[in-house]
Amino acid sequence: MPKHVEEHTESVMISGQVAKASRRSTNAVVQTTLTKTLTVQSVKKKNVKERKKGGSSSNDLEALSPELHATVAAQLASLEKDTMEQSWYNSLHAEFEKSYFRKLKEFLETEMKANTVFPSLNNIYSWSRYTPLNSVKIVILGQDPYHNVGQAHGLSFSVLPPTKIPASLRNIYKQIATDIPSFVIPKTEGDLSRLAKLGVLWLNTSLTVRAHQAGSHHGKGWETFTAQVLKTVVSRPDSNGVVFMAWGLPASKTCNNIGIDETKHLVLKSAHPSPLSAHRGFLGNGHFKRANEWLKEKYGEGAEIDWTVLNRPEEK
Q: Which residues are identified as catalytic?
A: 144
What span, in angstroms and rounded, lies between the C-alpha atoms of 84 and 101?
A: 15
CA angle 135, 138, 139 (to 5 degrees): 105
Task: Report how far residue 143's alpha carbon sits from residue 214's, in angstroms, rounded to the nearest whole number.
Answer: 10
Question: What are the strands of the beta sheet with 138-142, ordered from one edge?
Answer: 200-204, 138-142, 243-247, 266-270
Under 8 Å between Cβ of 143 and 251: yes
CB contact at 8 A, 134 and 87: yes
**Distance of alpha carbon 227 from alpha carbon 207, whole angstroms:** 12
Write the single-letter amino acid at 4. H
Length of the chain: 316
Helix (H, G, I), strand (E, B) or coil at 157: coil
CB atoms within 10 A of CB 188: 10
Which residues lie across from 138 on neighbouring strands? 200, 243
Distance from CA of residue 26 to its chain's centroid? 20
Backbone angle region of 153, left / alpha / beta, with phi > 0 → left and psi within -120 to 50 → alpha: alpha
Tell whether the torsion through CA atoms of 204, 208, 214 and 220 is positive or negative: negative
d(CA 297, CA 84) in angstroms, rounded, equals 32
Q: How far apart are CA 237 and CA 217, in angstroms?
A: 32
Burial of 292 (0-12, 13-18, 19+ CB in 10 A): buried
